[in-house]
Amino acid sequence: MLDTYSLHLCDDHPVLAISLSEMLKQESFVRTISVSHDFVGLKVELSNASIDLLLLDISFKGENAFDFLDEIKRSYPNLKILLLTNYELSDIHLEARKFQVEGLIGKSASLEELKTACKTVLNGGEYWGKYQLSSEIIKDITPREREIMLLLVQGKTNQQISDALSISILTVQTHRKNIKAKLQLENITDLISIVNHFRLL
């Protein structure tokens, strides 16, 4: 017999939320799906029903989902959470990973991708879609690049790294460019988040 699950969708755009819930309601793996439009309504739904998967919009009017994710995780440690976002910024998925949610998907994704994401998360996996940064990418980092990453995380400048490793500044700059490309970095904050998440150093 096919396993079915209870889903809850929290999004402050009522038309989008209701439309999406109606589409998901037709899927064989969905037993029930409820909707809320703010954190107050979400808390009521979570306290009144046994929910397997929460589809949570990242941004609300005057609020940010990251502001109350800790509370949700503490109160419902077994709840699986898939975040929804309109943003393309790299720091969104890095921020999301800090809260140990199960995944992140763009609102522009197709219904098929959303269904895949839901099923993956419900079956114990994670789904990051185009926000995925896999351990396979990390394996491409060379020993020298790891050395430079450690020094960068410590706040060292190109000149200080050059002196410490006895290499030219041009070589340091080349390594930094390669690290940025391999790890899809925007800034040093991204690097620190990745280093901590994958325990690289």
Query: 114 and 60 in one domain?
Result: yes
The model scores a pTM over 0.85: no
Residue 43 belongs to domain with CATH number: 3.40.50.2300
Query: 185 and 109 in one domain?
Result: no
Structural domain span for residue 9: 5-131
Query: 163 and 82 in one domain?
Result: no
Domain boundary residue, one of 131, 147, 182: 131
Query: 47 and 19 in one domain?
Result: yes
Total domains in the fold of the chain: 2
Average model confidence (pLDDT) across the chain: 84
At residue 8, the pLDDT reads 96
Total count of residues recorded for the chain: 201
Amino acid letter, residue 51: I
Residue 156: pLDDT band (50, 70, 90) is very high
Residue 156 belongs to domain with CATH number: 1.10.10.10
Domain boundary residue, one of 78, 106, 131: 131
Domain boundary residue, one of 100, 131, 162: 131
Report which of residues 47 and 108 the model is more confident about.
Answer: 47
Query: 189 and 173 in one domain?
Result: yes
Query: 148 and 98 in one domain?
Result: no
Query: 108 and 181 in one domain?
Result: no
Alpha-carbon separation of residue 1 from 28, 29, 85, 180, 191 (angstroms): 11, 11, 33, 47, 45
Q: What is the pLDDT of residues 8-51, one digit of tens each?
A: 999 988 888 889 999 999 999 999 999 999 888 999 999 988 99
Average pLDDT over residues 125-130: 81
Query: 86 and 155 in one domain?
Result: no
Residue 170: pLDDT band (50, 70, 90) is very high
At residue 59, the pLDDT reads 78
DSSP assignment of 93-133: HHHHHHTT-SEEEETTS-HHHHHHHHHHHHTT--B-GGG--
Average pLDDT over residues 114-134: 84
Query: 147 and 61 in one domain?
Result: no
Report which of residues 96 and 20 the model is more confident about.
Answer: 20
Closest C-alpha among 107, 59, 67, 55 to residue 86: 107
Query: 170 and 186 in one domain?
Result: yes
Average pLDDT over residues 136-153: 84
Query: 10 and 103 in one domain?
Result: yes
Query: 77 and 27 in one domain?
Result: yes
Angstrom distance (rounded) from CA 54 to CA 32:
12
